[in-house]
Amino acid sequence: MPTGAMQDFIREETESILAACTKCGKCFEACPMTRYSPALAGAEPKAVVTGILALLREEGNGPEALGWASVCVRSGSCVPACPDGVNPKMMMRIARITASGGLGGPKRIAARHDRDYFDRIRAFAKLQLTDEEIRDWM
Contacting residues toward ligand SF4, per CB under 6 A? 21-27, 49, 81-82, 84, 86, 88, 91
CB of 44 to ligand SF4, least distance (A): 12
| Amino acid identity, position 47 | A
SS3 132: helix
CB of 77 to ligand SF4, least distance (A): 11
Contact 70, 110 (CB under 8 A): yes
Contact 100, 70 (CB under 8 A): no
CB of 2 to ligand SF4, least distance (A): 22
Choice between 81 and 111, CB closer to ligand SF4: 81
